[in-house]
Structures are given as C-alpha cells and as structure tokens.
Amino acid sequence: MLWPIFAIVISFLAFGVAAYFYKWVKALPSAEGNIDEIGSWIRAGAYTFLKTEYRLLARFAAAVVVLIIIFLPEPIWLADADRFRNIAMALAYVLGSVLSGLAGYVGISIATIANVKSASAARKGLTPSFMAGFRGGAVMGMAVVGTSLAGAAILYMLTSDAEIVLGFSFGASSLALFAKAGGGIFTKTADISADLTGKVELGIPEDDPRNPAVIADNVGDNVGDVAGMGADLFDSNIASLAAAMLLAIPLKQVDIIFCFGGLGLLASIIGVLSTRVGKKGNPGRALNNGTYLTTIIFGVLTLAATLIFDFTIQLWLATAIGLLAGTVIGFTSELFTSDNGKSVQNVARASVSGPAFTILSGFSYGLISSFPAILGIAGASLAAYKVCEPLGGSYPLLGIAMAAVGMLSIVGMIISNDAYGPIVDNARGLAEMGSLGDEVLGITDELDAAGNTAKAITKGFAIGAAGLTVIALLAAYQELLPEGSQMFNIMDPLVFFGLLIGITVPAVFSAMLMMGVTRNAERMVAEIHRQFDQIPGLREGKEGVRPDYNKCIDIATVGALKELIPAGLMAILVTLLVGFVGGVSAIGGFLAGNITSGLLLALLMSNSGGMWDNAKKYIESGNFGGKGSDAHKAAVIGDTVGDPFKDTAGPSINTQITVVSLVSSLCAGLFIMFSVF
C-alpha cells in the first residue's frame, strides 16, 4: 500500500499548490470601473448554470444509484450476490460524480475571478496578465488531477476491487456527459446567438455590452471550456486508471500505476510552478515549454523509479510510448489548425470563391487530419502491446492501459494550459466591455491567441487520450468476461452486427447535440430580438439602459440540459439494447465500432472547426481582402458551422464513448445472464 499512499500525498501537495495559486490570484489588485461588476455577472451566470446542472445531475444520479444497488455488479436477488458490493459500487459512483463536480466548481470559481484579475493586470503589462490567467487555470489542473488520483487511490485501499473503481469512473463520466455536452451546447448557443444578432445584424463588436447575449457568451467560455474540458479529462484520467487497475490487480502490478500517476502529478506541479513569461516573451511558447518540461521530468522520474524500485521495464516503455503518442497527436492537431499551416491558409484561400468552398475545403482537410492522429493511436496501442507481449498473460493488454496512463500522466499541465484559454478570452471580453483602451486590448489579444493555439493542442490530446483509454477499457471489458467468451471475432455475425450499430452511435449522438445548439440558438435569437424591440434605448446604447442578461443565461442553461438528455439516453439505451439482444460478443463489436467511428468523427469535427475558426482569423489579419471582404463573409459562415463542430459535438464524443464503454463493462454480467442470443 506504499504507492497508493504516495499518490495520495502528491495529490495533497497538488491541493496545496492549488490553494496557493487561488490565494495568489485572489490577492492580485482589483480592477477599477465596471469590470468588477461585469465580472460578477459572469460569475453569477456560471453559478446559475452549475446549480441547474448539478440539480439535474443529482436526480439522474439518484436513479442510477437505485439501479446500481439492484443490478450491479450482480443482481441483488441472486443467492450468492454480495450486497455490500452493490452498495460500495453505488457509493463509488456518487463519489465519482461529487469529486468531479467539486473540481469543476473550484475551477469555475477561480476562473471567474482570474478573468477579472487578468484583465486588470493587463494594464501593467503582459507578464502579470499572463500569470493571472495561467495560475487561475492551474488551480483547475491541480484540483482535477489531485481529486481523481486521490479518489482512485483511496477507493483501491479501501476495497482492492477494480470493479468498484469502474463504478467511480462511471460516476465521473456521468458528470462529464452533463458538463461537456451540456456546457458545449450552452456555450455555442450563446456564441452563435450573440454573433448573429450583434456582429451580423447590428454590426456592433463581439463583446458589446448592449447585446443581451454577451454575458451568456462569456459564461459559456467558463462552463464549456473550463468546467467541461476539466470534467472530460477528469473522466478520461479516472477511466484510464480504472482500466489499468482492472488488468493490473490479477498481475499484482498495481503499484506501478499509482507510482506513475503520482510522478505524473509531481511533474505537472513542477511544470506549472516553473511556467512564466518575460516582459517581451511569447505566451504561446511559455505554455508549450511548460508541457515539454513536464513531459521530460515525467519520463526521467518514471525511468528512475522503474530502475530503483525494480518495476517491469516493459511497462515503463509502454507508458513512454503513450506519452510520446500524446505529444505527437497534440502537435499534429496544431499543424492542421494553426494559421501558419497550409491547411488553414488553403481554407482561407478557398473562401475567396464563396462559402461553399470554405465548407468543402475545411471538411476535406478535417477528414484528412483524422489520419495522422488515428495512426498515432493505432501505432501506440500496437507498440505498447508488442513491447509487453514477451511477458505473456494479460500483460500486453496492461501495456495498452499503461500507454493510456502515460498519455494522461501530464494531464495536470494540459488542463492548466487549457483552462488558461477561456480565462484570457474572458479577460479580453472584459477589457472590451470595460473600455480599457487599445494597449490593454492588444495584450489580451496576444494572450487570447496563445490560448487558442493551446486549445487546439489540448483538444487533440484529449481525443487521443480518450482513444487510448477506451481501447484500454475494451481490454478491461474483455478481462471481465468468463473464459471462452473473450473472443470478439469480426466474422461472428453478432460481433459484426454490434460493430455496424456501434459506428452509428457517435454519428447520431453528435447530430442530436448540433441540432440542440441550433434549436436553442433560435430561441435565444428570438429573445434578443424581443429585448431590442421592447427595451427602449437599448439598441442605441442609451446611458443606464441595460439588457436583461439573465434571461439569455436562463435560455442557454435550460435549453442545453433539455437538449442533452435525449442524446445521452440514446447512447446508453442503444448500448443496453445491443447487449441484451446480442450479448457480450455483440457488445465487443459495438464498442470497437463506437470507438473507431467516435475517433473519426471527433477528429473531423474538432479539426475542421478549428481550421474554419483560424481561417477566419487569418483573413481578418489582412489576407485575401481582410475584414469585410467577401472571403471574410464566407469564412464567418465557415466559423459558424465550425462552432458546434469543434466546441459541442466533437469534444463531447469522447465522453459519449467513455460512458458507453463503462456501461458495457459494468453490465457485462447482466448481458451474460439475460441476453437473447
């Protein structure tokens, strides 16, 4: 039990760092003027969303808890069922949701302070503004990884039962589904509605305070990108640990998981603490350097630990392979979505011929961009397997799980970089709404651009990590089956049937979310029109006249959760249907189909969305006619299509795949007992 304790100690160290950063950011000088006030509206809006989300989630979780107690891991009415295990799993499920929710709450709470501080600090220069944004994000990073690692370690120490950890993971995924997909619908509803009514109809700037949707838009950055992405990576991180534990317990190799998990968090702490930027420094490079540093420290520390404590060297190799693949995938995403890249520039060039060509070229590049990332995932899992093959038994599968653990080891640093993005994006908005002047806007723009690049990298990373994790979960699923049913032969018609149905689920799921965004945006646009019509002086910007921001926040909140539930239920119900009809082998195929098509669609949507966004920015920076040209108008249409692609559907697919994988693993026993075939 030495290494789980080590992991818990490091987790508490991370909490310490988070608390230090929290205080540090909070102690930064407060802003003058109305920035504080606007910031407080954003904060209140974000809390409103969280409260509604958590209330709904609590009801959902209550239902799941009842189901778990009755059915999982074994139906309670069976003579030899261990009923305490059912209760333990239910508690683990609740713990997973609560810890993930807590981490999201902490993240939002600091992000909505750090945005104001970062905007205020920008008046003193780039360095303090960057530090406010980054350290605010790092609070989230430390909180997420600390709680997930400590939670898994404590559960393991209490139960030594990997299936219970799967329940914990399922709790985290349930929350992630709400946070990521719900937040994704929220943020794009507000973003699109604000753009359509503000920029397009009235010709007012992006963050003009006259626009009733402008606060909702800034809230969206927080709930979609801070809380949502945090919950997504929390979820992947726990799932990778759970899958690895499930495979490692029979092999007595759990120590290495907690050792590497702890060292990964330690490396992230060092990385986060040493990230800073000079007065004339490049914030993008500072973020990347932090990631490199963390990666190197992790590699060195784990190799040293492996040699000193005599861990199996092949497992270290598998971990290193995963880490390497994560880095490669992240930077491939950047290559495709950066405005220095050929693809973004070609999408911008195509926009000269009209919006149809913007769409066609971005979509085509998006399809192509899936290839290197999927090759990376395929190569990493094959290499990790082959490296561990000489060890025999289920070591090769553990190798794949360790690759997932390795990829996620630096997740503390990744989340910090990622949460930095929406904070400085908000800071930019506050600087504009508070009229802080062009010099400050210049600084916040530069910080924002670095955040966008970081986001492209972390999004690719998140998809890659989810990919490896669900492959590990598939291995864990197989491990849970009795001897003889562990073969998913593609030529078995049930497996093939499952495979075919599996590929359609991410497609239908993402379509439902995107339709949710457009339906919800229609509602919000109608409300904005109503306000402009009925509030006298609003359109003209008369002194003291203020729109009803809360109404828009309400629409986004209620709509997001309403639209998300059918999509989430669809994914879960289809899984159960396939399982109860086709049995465990159909589920084997189903998961493979779900994973593969999920990866394809997630990469397509995230990357083409990123390309359209940056093609628009590339044109705005003066190319192909610049702002206001026909090419720009075409690129704006591309960007609007890309918004739900890259911020709603694309990244939510990760969570959908994980949820479905966990449901399958947890219900494997039920499928064996009750399936038709």
568 binds a copy of itself (CB under 8 A): no
Q: Which of 313, 490, 569, 673 binds a copy of itself (CB under 8 A)?
A: 490
Specify whether the CB–CB gap between 116 and 97 falls below 8 A.
Answer: no
Residues between 569 and 628 that touch a copy of itself (CB under 8 A): 588-589, 592-593, 596-597, 599-600, 604
Task: Please list every residue from 177 through 196 that binds a copy of itself, using CB under 8 A.
Answer: 196
Among 488, 580, 624, 671, binds a copy of itself (CB under 8 A): 488
Q: Does 237 bind a copy of itself (CB under 8 A)?
A: no
Interaction between residue 510 and a copy of itself (CB under 8 A): yes
Q: Does 526 sit near a copy of itself (CB under 8 A)?
A: no
Q: Alpha-carbon distance 441 to 622, whole Å?
A: 18
533 SS3 class: helix
By CB under 8 A, which span of 224-232, 270-278, 485-493, 557-565 interacts with a copy of itself? 485-493
| For a copy of itself, the closer CB: 139 or 350 | 350
Binding mask 361-400 for a copy of itself (x = CB under 8 A): x-xxxxxx-xx--xx-xxx-xx--xx---------xx--x
Q: Which is nearer to a copy of itself, 196 or 233 (CB)?
A: 196
Min. distance of Cβ 646 from a copy of itself in angstroms?
13
Q: Which of 313, 511, 545, 573 binds a copy of itself (CB under 8 A)?
A: 511
For a copy of itself, which is the closer residue by CB, 50 or 380? 380
**Residue 607 CB burial class (10 angstroms; 0-12, 13-18, ≥19):** buried
Rg (alpha carbons) of the chain, rounded to whole number? 24
Residue 265's Cβ-count burial label (10 Å; 0-12, 13-18, 19+) is buried
Can you state the angle between helices 183-194 and 630-644, rounded to 10 degrees?
160
Residue tagged 């599968």 (tokens): 397
Render 239-291 in DSSP notation, one character per residue: HHHHHHHHHHTTTT-HHHHHHHHHHHHHHHHHHHHH----TT--HHHHHHHHH
Q: Does 491 bind a copy of itself (CB under 8 A)?
A: yes
Q: How far is the CB of 501 from a copy of itself (least distance, A)?
A: 6
Token pair listed for 588: 């084997």
* 519, 528 contact by CB (below 8 A): no
User: Quick one: tokens of 617?
Assistant: 């920015």
| Least Cβ distance, residue 655 to a copy of itself (angstroms) | 17
| Interatomic CA distance for residues 157 and 153, integer angstroms | 6
Cβ nearer to a copy of itself, comparing 171 with 396: 396
**Which residue, 75 or 493, is less far from a copy of itself as judged by CB?**
493
Binding part of the chain for a copy of itself, among 35-43, 139-147, 529-537, 635-643 by CB under 8 A, reads 635-643
CA distance 26 to 43: 14
**Closest by Cα among 179, 267, 173, 280 to 227:** 179
Residue 352 neighbours by CB under 8 Å, 6+ apart: 624, 625, 630, 631, 634
Beta carbon of residue 492, minimum distance to a copy of itself (angstroms, whole number): 9
Token output for 195: 């753009």
* From candidates 34, 48, 52, 353, binder to a copy of itself by CB under 8 A: 353
What is the size of the binding site for a copy of itself (CB under 8 A)? 76
Residues in 331-350 that interact with a copy of itself by CB under 8 A = 350
Among 19, 515, 565, 672, binds a copy of itself (CB under 8 A): 515
CB 261 to a copy of itself: min, Å: 24
Instruction: Classify the C-alpha dihedral 131-136-137-140 as positive or negative.
Output: positive
